Amino acid sequence: MTSPPLTSQIAALSALENQSDDDHTRQRLAALRQQTEQTLAEVHDLAVALRPSVLDDVGLLAALQRHCQVFARRSGVEVACVDLDLDGERLPAEVELTVYRVVQEALTKGIRHGKAAR
């Protein structure tokens, strides 16, 4: 897992930043700490995008609805998420993850290559 080493690095950079007597060194350490914090946030976002916890917690439909809402908000493209009605039954975990990733990729490709507006 990447998070603990990055969190430790942030704490170490912060400690060094607070101990430094040199303004230039303190500014460079602050910049490195901020960059590491940004990297940690991006790693978290990537992990959630690849395997959202909502997929495990409440299932494929809720995960897809949330992804479509976030995607629509970020892209400005209208997205319709249609329930295929599986009568509340869950698909195997690997199938749900595959379907989720296919929908992610389809939405991205639709905008990037198809210039979709809806």
Cα separation, 71 vs 68, in Å, equals 5
Cα–Cα distances in Å, from 16 out to 12, 27, 49, 52, 79?
6, 11, 33, 35, 47
Tokens 């629509």 -> residue: 72
Does the pLDDT of residue 51 top 80, yes or no?
A: no
Across the chain, mean pLDDT equals 86
Percent of the chain with pLDDT over 70: 97
